[in-house]
Structure 1
Amino acid sequence: MSDFAQTLEEGGTPPSAKDYRGIMSPEQARDPEYFPGLAIAVPLGIQHVLAMFVSNLAPAIIVAGAAGFGYGSDDPSPMIYMIQMAMLFAGIATLFQTIGAGPMGARLPIVQGTSFAFLPIMIPIVAGQGVAGMAALTTGALFGGLFHMSLSLVVGKIRFALPPLVTGLVVLMIGLSLMRVGVQYAAGGLPADRPDYGAGIGWMLAGTVAFVTLGLCFFARGIWATAAVLIGLIAGYGVAALLGRVSLDPVAQVGWVALPDPFRFGFAISASAILGFCLMGVVSAIETVGDVSGICEGGAGREATDKELSGATMADGFGTALAAIFGALPNTSFSQNVGLIAITGVMSRHVVTVGAVFLIIAGFVPKIGALVTTIPIEVLGGGVIVMFGMVASAALSILQSVTWSQRNMLIFGIALSVSLGLQLEPAALSHAGETWGVLLGSGVLPAAVIAVVLNLIVPGREA
């Protein structure tokens, strides 16, 4: 067994490219076309899956819960299906990036997964609406994905309008918009008028997840640190099982294999959903451009080409549109996997392809989705609190590069004040109509629009 493979098997940190003595040269490690062999590709591919697994499934669970398919519902099958599709189409969308099809795909090690960015738009669309809400959501995502694809023609030309001042604010609003969900889950899930809502045992389970996750992040290395949130959830799940709060009945009730169902939730035109997904598609496209740039600069030591940026954006949008047809949520590139490439030093797109195959296989096995639904909502809340907190922390990292002049502080302050205020006080939009009420109340869209417009028209914009 090679030193590299043995290190992985023992749970250690994979060496950087410069330490691959006899396994691959630094030039090979930086080459997206190089295939290091299955002995290296399989464990590294699994590591990519572990890094994004929980974050990929969480949006499906949250949206299903908001629609009424979640914890405590009479029929958990829609949630199981949505979890299954989240895995399947994350894998398929990743293949579009790594293998490509014509002009589509960056042909780089880009991992796709279900996007958190769309949650502030999706939750109001489906809230309490059941299948009808999901029909409007997936139809909106279909049109939004097609619009997202069209952005591949101009994405390089609009980057000037989205400096760190704007992108950092948008990411911050995504995190702030979702923190309430994590606390609600940790308290036991809505409705809040239940006698056990906010009970100490729920906070104990959520705290277990957070404590284990933080411990691994601070003190562990290698796969243990990469999959910290997943291992934290497993620890919380184990404690919940010992307390008799886990039932495996949903796993026994589903089969081993199931195929995706086109338009599972139907087809319904909603102006607010379509407009919201199109506008958020711009944000998602810029996020993907940033990830592609980060991979090329950190992994290959060069700038991303226009062809790579355009192909990645096209694949991003196509993956979202295709997933929507089968009842799955929008996807985007996953930044945590960009960081993983920097850690391992392996730029091979074929390694990520191997990880995508694992996701696709899991997507055809509904028992995996059913097992995920047995996680108590308080346990999930602990993981969600950590993840959404990290989203907000990532925003602060982006904002570090901003020059905090009086101009930029005013733009940031006004955009944050209006967007967060509208989200906290939705009654202020009671006369705006349903469509604009959903869009303006999301927090993310008004923040993006105000920041972009002010940054373009207020004198003193940095080149």
Structure 2
Amino acid sequence: MTNTAHGAYADPNETPPMAQAIPLGLQHVLAMFASNVTPSIIVAGAAGLAFGGPEQVYLIQMAMLFAGVATLFQTIGFGPVGARLPIMQGTSFAFVGVLAGIAATQGMGVALTACLIGGVLHFCLGAFIKSLRWLFPPLVTGLVILAIGLYLIPTAIKYAAGGAADFQMAAQSFGSLKHWSVALTVVVVALAVKFFAKGSLSNSGILIGLLAGYVLAFVLGMVNFAAVGKAAWITGITPMPFGFEFNLGAVIAVTLVCVVSAIETVGDASATTKAGAGREATDNEIAGATYADGLGTAVAAVFGGLPNTSFSQNVGIVGMTGVMSRHVVTIGALFLIVCGLLPKIGAVIASMPLPVLGGGVIVMFGMVAAAGMNVLTEVKMNRRNMVIIAVSLTAGLGLNLVPTAVQYLPGVVKTLATSAVAPTALVAIVLNLVLPEDI
């Protein structure tokens, strides 16, 4: 696709000919597909759900289905809901650390209930999101994103080496050459395609890397298609599949991440209008994007889906192609919805061996951390800001790595203190407000 920025399709309400619109819509899906389904696989593993089992397959289906539904909230919208911009929604990595911890200790019912309530509160942020932005300058948002990436990196290494949980590390095959050869194949192919190919092929680098690793794993006898054969071709969806279980600590932790997610969505809405039309996003577009973000998260949680957020990588596609049409992204959303209703597709994804997924998330989680560092480049590195970075990261990551250090705290406070993201955000916000600017 050639760059036609601010050209014939700089208006969100215009639609290219279908011969162009369909490939452009699929390009948006390819750029986010791997990142969209990965959080569900990780949280399912943390919850102890069988790898490749029907519950994990269902969670993968819901990730695809409600990424599509949430995207329609953004591109088509109704009332105040939706930016009506080409914003692709997907399952958010920002929530993985918090939800994996909740799912591992309290179960998927508590995790998804927290997502439902957090999504409703996230939706309410749309009414006054503009007035909250001052609490989240680049110093705070950059730190939170960096903490998320750093927290997730050990999980990537565990997956690449062939294990999803600590007890699996004792297995003889953990860390074997076979596992690492598959994981490194994914990394090498993904990077080669990303940096030596062009256009939509380049944007699909991680997906192509995963496919290459999948093929190698199949050749090495690591792929089991038994679940694919048992999966139905089409199925319905189940409200609250893991039940409704309220836990205040879990709700607070998820809601804090929802606030950060809302701020990221505001940034993506602004970046989309700048990239595609050379203008600032309007107040209505920013509020609509936030409403859609929260509604998408709440609706997904009702049926077993994890929280949704805008996908920043898709902003790059808008800038690269210059096609600002929201209807192009609507086509991509419809494709995701179809995939989400076909359990066979979910079962194929769930059959992906852990080292294949590990190779992909080594790149993806590293990129999350790098994105946080990129945001921090906007921050002046004086003594004040360096102290905030040091103390916030130490509090967030340190307590997460040594949870027994706060084992005597009440349940709600302990959940927050060991979630990595919540303490990093809270410490950064408080220090940014109270420390003087002139040190």
Aligned-partner residue type, residue 4 of structure 2: A
1:360 to 337, 341, 348: 337
Pairing 1:281-320 to 2, within 5 Å after superposition: 281-320=258-297
1:384 to 361, 364, 374: 361
**Contact 2:31 2:313 (C-alpha < 8 Å) held by counterparts:** yes
CA distance in 2, matches of 1:180, 1:238: 25
* Identity across matched positions, percent: 51
CA distance in 2, matches of 1:128, 1:66: 9
**Contact 1:206 1:382 (C-alpha < 8 Å) held by counterparts:** yes
Which position in structure 2 is the counterpart of 1:8?
none
Task: Find the residue that maps to 1:404 and give its secondary structure.
Answer: coil
Quote how far apart the aligned CAs of 1:120 are. Answer: 1.2
Which position in structure 2 is the counterpart of 1:271?
248
Aligned-partner residue type, residue 258 of structure 1: T
Does residue 241 of the first structure (1) align with residue 218 of the second (2)?
yes
CA distance in 2, matches of 1:143, 1:370: 29
Does residue 396 of the first structure (1) align with residue 373 of the second (2)?
yes
1:421-447 Cα deviation digits (max 9, x unpaired) = 111111101011322222111111111
Pairing 1:204-219 to 2, within 5 Å after superposition: 204-219=181-196
Aligned-partner residue type, residue 380 of structure 2: T
Which position in structure 1 is the counterpart of 2:122?
148
Which position in structure 1 is the counterpart of 2:133?
159
Pairing 1:405-420 to 2, within 5 Å after superposition: 405-420=382-397
**Contact 2:43 2:103 (C-alpha < 8 Å) held by counterparts:** yes
1:57-112 Cα deviation digits (max 9, x unpaired) = 000000111111142x7xx0000000000000000000000000100000000000
**Contact 1:423 1:441 (C-alpha < 8 Å) held by counterparts:** yes
Task: Find the residue that maps to 1:127 and give its secondary structure.
Answer: helix
Q: Which aligned segments of 4 or more residues in structure 1 are displaced greater than 4 angstroms?
A: none
**Contact 2:7 2:322 (C-alpha < 8 Å) held by counterparts:** no
Aligned-partner residue type, residue 77 of structure 1: P
CA distance in 2, matches of 1:213, 1:432: 43
Quote how far apart the aligned CAs of 1:311 are. Answer: 0.6
Give unmatched runs, 5+ long, in structure 1.
1-13, 19-25
Does residue 45 of the first structure (1) align with residue 25 of the second (2)?
yes
CA distance in 1, matches of 2:60, 2:438: 43
Quote how far apart the aligned CAs of 1:161 are. Answer: 1.5
CA distance in 1, matches of 2:254, 2:105: 20
CA distance in 2, matches of 1:83, 1:397: 30
Aligned-partner residue type, residue 44 of structure 2: A
Which position in structure 2 is the counterpart of 1:174?
148
Which position in structure 1 is the counterpart of 2:44?
64
1:134-190 Cα deviation digits (max 9, x unpaired) = 111111111000000111111101111111111110000000010011011011113
**Contact 1:455 1:461 (C-alpha < 8 Å) held by counterparts:** no
Pairing 1:189-228 to 2, within 5 Å after superposition: 189=163, 190=165, 191-228=168-205
CA distance in 2, matches of 1:325, 1:192: 34
1:342-381 Cα deviation digits (max 9, x unpaired) = 1111000000000000000111000000000111111110
Quote how far apart the aligned CAs of 1:256 are. Answer: 0.5
Which position in structure 2 is the counterpart of 1:54?
34
Aligned-partner residue type, residue 3 of structure 2: S
**Contact 2:9 2:15 (C-alpha < 8 Å) held by counterparts:** no
2:208 to 226, 231, 246: 231
TM-score norm. by structure 1 comes to 0.92
Task: Find the residue that maps to 2:90 and give its secondary structure.
Answer: strand
Which position in structure 2 is the counterpart of 1:135?
109
CA distance in 2, matches of 1:240, 1:221: 27
Which position in structure 2 is the counterpart of 1:5?
none
2:4 to 8, 17, 27: 17
Does residue 95 of the first structure (1) align with residue 75 of the second (2)?
no
Does residue 33 of the first structure (1) align with residue 13 of the second (2)?
yes
Q: What RMSD in Å do the two structures reach over aligned CA positions? A: 1.3
1:378-405 Cα deviation digits (max 9, x unpaired) = 1110001110000011111111111111
CA 1:456–1:128: 2 relative to 1, 3 Å:
closer
**Contact 1:68 1:128 (C-alpha < 8 Å) held by counterparts:** no
Aligned-partner residue type, residue 174 of structure 1: I
CA distance in 1, matches of 2:90, 2:115: 15
1:206-250 Cα deviation digits (max 9, x unpaired) = 000001011111211112211100100100011111111112111
Task: Find the residue that maps to 1:268 and give its secondary structure.
Answer: coil
Task: Find the residue that maps to 1:39 and give its secondary structure.
Answer: helix
CA distance in 1, matches of 2:8, 2:280: 18
Aligned-partner residue type, residue 456 of structure 1: L
CA distance in 2, matches of 1:455, 1:101: 37
Quote how far apart the aligned CAs of 1:28 are. Answer: 2.8
Task: Find the residue that maps to 2:87 and give its secondary structure.
Answer: coil
**Contact 1:149 1:314 (C-alpha < 8 Å) held by counterparts:** yes
Give unmatched runs, 5+ long, in structure 2.
none
**Contact 1:323 1:330 (C-alpha < 8 Å) held by counterparts:** yes
Quote how far apart the aligned CAs of 1:450 are. Answer: 0.7
TM-score norm. by structure 2 comes to 0.97
CA distance in 2, matches of 1:193, 1:433: 33
**Contact 2:67 2:336 (C-alpha < 8 Å) held by counterparts:** yes
* Structure 1, 97-106 or 274-283: larger mean CA deviation: 274-283
Task: Find the residue that maps to 2:130 and give its secondary structure.
Answer: coil
Number of residue pairs matched by the alignment = 436
Task: Find the residue that maps to 1:332 and give its secondary structure.
Answer: strand
Aligned-partner residue type, residue 311 of structure 1: G
Task: Find the residue that maps to 1:113 and give its secondary structure.
Answer: strand
CA distance in 1, matches of 2:91, 2:120: 17
CA 1:275–1:54: 2 relative to 1, 3 Å:
same
* Structure 1, 281-290 or 432-441: larger mean CA deviation: 432-441
**Contact 1:41 1:351 (C-alpha < 8 Å) held by counterparts:** yes
